[in-house]
Amino acid sequence: QIASAGLTESQAQKEGYTVKVSTLPMEYVPRALAARDTRGLVKLVADADTDKLLGAHILAPESGEMIQTAVIAIRFGITVQDLRETIFPYLTNVEGIKLATLAFEKDVAMLSCCAG
């Protein structure tokens, strides 16, 4: 599945935002590993000045369900830090959004399965 909400990196730059981007391969999402289907990725686009999420683009199984978290975050001006500090259910694909927020600042390959 493919799901997208908000601005792409290119659109955000054209609108004058200074952007920061995180791209998380699904191979780092525990649910994808458990399901033995690590195809895809989660890409987040944020305003580097305000930390607000501007866009989310997901290519992965269940992306149609995962995107709702990003839609709410974009709609209400939630920041990357807000999402990072939110508890996401373990062993779900939507946990990939939280891991993608961590990937803005950390190498998620170095985290344990439950370190988010």
Task: Give the CATH number of the domain where residue 78 resides.
Answer: 3.30.390.30
Whether residue 32 is contained in a domain is answered as yes
Could you tell me where the beta strands, DSSP code E, fall in 27-104? Answer: 41-47, 53-59
**Could you tell me the pTM of the whole model?**
0.94
Whether residue 113 is contained in a domain is answered as no
Distances in Å between the alpha carbon of 99 and those of 14, 15, 16, 116? 27, 27, 27, 7
| Cβ atoms of 63 and 69 closer than 8 Å | no
Mean pLDDT for the stretch of residues 13-23: 99
Question: What's residue 114's pLDDT?
Answer: 57
Query: First CA to last CA across the chain, in angstroms?
Result: 25
Reported as a single tens digit per residue, the pLDDT across 63-97 is 999 999 999 999 999 999 999 999 999 999 999 99
Mean pLDDT for the stretch of residues 41-47: 99
Distances in Å between the alpha carbon of 97 and those of 15, 16, 25, 93, 105? 24, 25, 11, 8, 14
Whether residue 14 is contained in a domain is answered as yes
Domain count, the chain: 1
Question: What's residue 75's pLDDT?
Answer: 98
Whether residue 110 is contained in a domain is answered as no
Residue 110 has pLDDT above 90, yes or no: no
Mean pLDDT for the stretch of residues 31-50: 97
| Cβ atoms of 60 and 30 closer than 8 Å | no
Whether residue 112 is contained in a domain is answered as no
Residue 115 has pLDDT above 60, yes or no: no
Residue 112 has pLDDT above 90, yes or no: no
Whether residue 116 is contained in a domain is answered as no
Gap between the Cα atoms of 79 and 29, Å rounded: 21
Domain of 44? 2-105
How confident is residue 12, by pLDDT bands cut at 50, 70 and 90?
very high
Whether residue 114 is contained in a domain is answered as no
Question: What's residue 113's pLDDT?
Answer: 62
Whether residue 115 is contained in a domain is answered as no
